[in-house]
Amino acid sequence: MLSTAVVLAGGRGTRLRPLTLTMPKPLVPVGNVPILDHILTLLKLNGFEKIVIAVNYLGEMIRRHILEKYDGYGMEIVVPRIKPLDTADAVRKCRDFIDGDFLVVMGDVLTNMNLREFAQFHEEKGGIASIALIEVPSLLDFGAVILGHDGRIIHFIEKPSSPEIYLVSLAYTRFPQNISKLYSNLANTGFYALSYKILDILDENPYLMDWGRHVFPWLLENNYEVYGWDAGDIYWADVGRPHNYLRANFDLLEGLVKPLKPKGREVMPGVWIGENAGVDPKAELRPPVAIGDGSRIAARAVVGPFAVIGDNVEVGEGAVVERSVVMNNTRLRAQVNVTYSVLAKNILVEEGAVIKGFSVIGEGVVVKSNYTVQPNTVIEPAIRVLEKVRKSGG
Amino acid sequence: MAASSVLPIYHNRIYGVANSQLTPEVTAELGAALGTMLGEGSLVVTARDLYPPSRMLKRSFSAGLMSTGISVIDFHDATLPEIAFAIKRFGAKAGIHFSVAPHRNDSVQIRILDSNGIEISFDKLNDLLMLYDTKHIVRTIPPRIGWVSYAEYIHDIYTASITSFLDTAPINAARPRIAVDVNFGPATDVLPMLFSEVGVRFILLNSHKPSPRNPPRQLPSLESMKMLANIVDASDSLFAAALSSDASQVFMIDDRGRILDPDTLIGVYAMTLPRGAKLAVSESTSRVVDKIAEIQKITLLRVKGMVGDVARAVRRLKATLGATDAGEFIFSQFTFSSDGILAIGKLIETLTIEDISLSTIVDSIPKIPTFHLEIDIEKKRYSSIIDHVYSNYQDVVLTPVHVKYKVGETWIKLRYDEEKEKLRIETDDTSKEGRETVKKIADELEELAQSFV
């Protein structure tokens, strides 16, 4: 039984800056749980026993996190620090830790995909590789796949342009009966089941660096059997951009990613509370909402709907937090208002300040009292917000 | 109300008389307004029906889009379902379709689909018209002006995709006969290809371009549907169908030559849904569908608004099927647009797999109580009744078979019998309030009819 998984966790997460300037993307929390922990939970639920986490950027933070949290977890977890040139190169450099067919999963994706079913599909088909596929609204940002009726991938094209999609679609119109779901936008999820032999191919062809751009097109050109597994109606989200990151948090709160869930105990439908968290009886929690360990919600504060409050966060009297994520150790003083925004760790938002929609505030920032952070603002870590920022109502 | 005082809108669509309300200059500005909303570098797909004014206005609209740095893929003449499919397949930010308007043959309607292939909401249309009115258009610098590509093979791609969506083996084995009125629309080029591919023998009515002497109409005529009924009888067809000019709506005749009420047609599709499926229908749909949902154990959702609102509900709630009593059917696995062609294909598939006739399904639909009255209306006066309804009521559903409109909380259905020259005024709301509304409307229309004399 396929029981080894390689988690690619070395990316720089540039699209999620400034959050990823001080934290590797796999440790960015969704529902107060790091994305990596969601992936490890999913792997454990699906019976995987050996996990290789390939780290690079801020890799020490990931190693420390694994050491602190996953000792005695019931899975063998190794965290090699590698310097990969791209996604396939990362797997090539993990060769010493792999001893059979294996799964490759992305360390920055939130999903509830049935990984065991996927592994079984790969074992039954016996191809060199299988790609987990989902239907997407648009193929432009994905690897697009044309699938034969036997599940074999006939065509793979990475991040195609619209004219390329037109030509590929046209090329396969003659025999639609031979194509599976020609009407569907089938796309690569970044989750692969691979034969051990792929490692030899990677060694013999050192110029194959990226799975989508190099390896899969090369395998198809050389008549290797690559299969596509339709993951069906599952949840899958790349949390690469702030907007997608917020959406993933909301979806987790809403229960769309089951069996994954936010941290804490669900004390009433849609309300998750961490250990030693304190909510003043005069505060209002509007589900769905998650409050982390040790956090304090003061009287007349309104939290939610769709709010994630991290560990040891203070939400002051009369403050409002809705459709937002506030990470650990951040303090929101009285009458602060936060909507549709992401606040990293260790931020201080002083009394009466307002943070408006789609803003992302980096770690350690201080927002002075009564200032308004305008919509779509991005503030780098540890910048003190001074008079430059417009006053509320000013 | 819409922000614009210049351009009329109806059912979340802009429409107007070509070269009067909608000149090439106006549509170029509208294109530029939409381009500004979408942002430079976006891709938009466009198509039109076979009506020359639609062609003229699409070209100027495209020029407006290009002026803001939008790239356009132009499919020339194509159906609305093809535009929706192209949005999904090619990753376009929007799709625009130009066709003759439903209730004004001298007018062109512009339908705007969003990046999900769903007709834009009233609010979004309002934003667009506001931008058009205020002329806050951001045109680009010459080197970044958009490009137009012509994609000649959209019919092939769309047809192959539908073929892959259908279970074609039982259709090929049965070799059924179908008659379809394509209503001088672009489905002329799609249906023969599709039917040949899946093994259907067919008769096509009103194919090719409309003639200048005989202007096109968005909805098929009742005369044409009666002709289809005769063809079904004579040719022993599985059924017949009549498409709207843009192929987004479909109306059907069963194997016994009966023209089906669009509510009945929704009932047919609902009867064939698997248990546990979700069906989203427009608010005005007959209560017979509730009864079917109860029997078939499917979840029924009623949605207020237009077909775009139903489509949004289908997407949000992951419904299997969306439908309106204007002959619109949305198959969510394919696209979120109403698709008359796919509705025909799915019905052929169902009937051949189950080896059952359409009339058998129709006859198995449960009956529900209704209340109705009949009044005498001369044939030549019926169109004035329709005009009266359009002028005085906000929520109107027009089909070749009936007109529905909302009076207070009651949906009234008007059906006209040309031979007997009688107008039937009906509601399935049999409460005292519903019955009183029918009586009130009967009096109102009778008085109106007398005023014509």
| Number of residues written out for chain A | 394
Q: Residue B195's domain spans which residues?
A: 155-364
In sequence order, the β-bridge partners of residue A50 are: A4, A76
Q: If you measure CA to CA, which chain B residue comes closest to A168?
A: B157
Cβ separation B92–A172 shorter than 8 A: no
| pTM reported for the whole predicted model | 0.86
Structure tokens at A274: 């961490």
Q: Does the A4-238 domain belong in CATH 3.90.550.10?
A: yes
User: CATH number for the domain including B57?
Assistant: 3.40.120.10
Cβ of A170 and B89 within 8 Å? no
B153 and A170 in contact by Cβ < 8 A? yes
Query: How far are the Cα atoms of A49, A223, B15, B116, B423 from residue B34, in angstroms, in the given order?
Result: 53, 46, 16, 16, 43
Q: Can you name the CATH fold of A263-385?
A: UDP N-Acetylglucosamine Acyltransferase; domain 1 (2.160.10)
Contacts of A319 (CB under 8 A, 6+ apart): A298, A301, A302, A332, A333, A334, A335, A336, A337, A338
CA distance A85 to A215: 14
| Nearest Cα residue to A106 out of A206, A236, A19 | A236
**Which structure tokens are listed for A108?**
């920055």
Confidence (pLDDT) at A385: 57
Residues of A in contact with B88 (CB under 8 A): 137-138, 185
Banded pLDDT at B420 (limits 50, 70, 90): confident
For the cut 70, the answer to whether the pLDDT of residue A245 exceeds it is: yes
How many folded domains does chain B comprise?
3
CA angle A87, A91, A95 (to 5 degrees): 165
Q: Domain boundary residue among B95, B117, B152?
A: B152
Parts of chain A belonging to CATH 3.90.550.10: 4-238
**Is the same domain home to B44 and B123?**
yes
Beta carbon pairs, A and B, within 8 Å: 69
- Hey, of B45, B118, B164, which one would you mutate to test binding to chain A, going by the most A CBs within 10 A of its CB? B164
Do B75 and B217 lie in one domain? The reply is no
Contact B164 A177 (CB under 8 A): yes
Asked, for residue B397, whether it belongs to a domain, the answer is: yes
Q: pLDDT by residue (tens digit) across B106-124?
A: 789 999 999 999 999 988 9
Claim to verify: residue B418 and residue B429 sit in the same structural domain:
yes
Structure tokens belonging to residue B136: 């806050």
Cβ(A193)–Cβ(A122) under 8 Å?
A: yes
Dist CA A189 CA A143 (whole Å): 8
Kindly list the distances between the CA atom of residue B102 and the CA atoms of B61, B107, B109, B165, in Å, as whole numbers in the listed order: 21, 8, 8, 29
Please tell me the number of Cα atoms within 13 Å of B138 on its side-chain side: 10
Residue bearing tokens 């002051």: A316
CA distance A261 to chain B (A): 21
B145 and B161 belong to one structural domain: no
Half-sphere exposure of A51 (CA within 13 A, CB side): 29
Least confident residue range of A231-240, B54-63, B87-96, B136-145: A231-240
Give how far A128 is from chain B: nearest CA, Å.
27
> What's the sign of the alpha-carbon dihedral B17, B20, B24, B30?
negative
The CA distance from A156 to A172, in Å, is: 13
User: Nearest 5°: phi and psi at B48?
Assistant: -150, 170
For residue B72, the chain A residue with the least C-alpha distance is A162
Tokens 């191919």 belong to A201
> What DSSP state is assigned to residue A215?
I
Reported ipTM: the value is 0.75
pLDDT digits (tens, 9 = 90+) for B283-340: 999 999 999 999 999 999 999 988 999 999 999 999 999 999 999 999 999 999 999 9
Residues B232 and B291 in one domain: yes
What's the pLDDT band for A394 if we cut at 50, 70, 90? Answer: very low
What are the tens digits of pLDDT across the range B196-251?
999 999 999 998 887 777 778 899 988 899 999 999 999 999 999 999 999 999 99
What order of strands is seen across the sheet that includes strand B328-331?
B299-303, B278-282, B321-324, B328-331
Residues of A in contact with B334 (CB under 8 A): 183
**Residue B30 pLDDT exceeds 80:** yes
Same domain for B228 and B295: yes
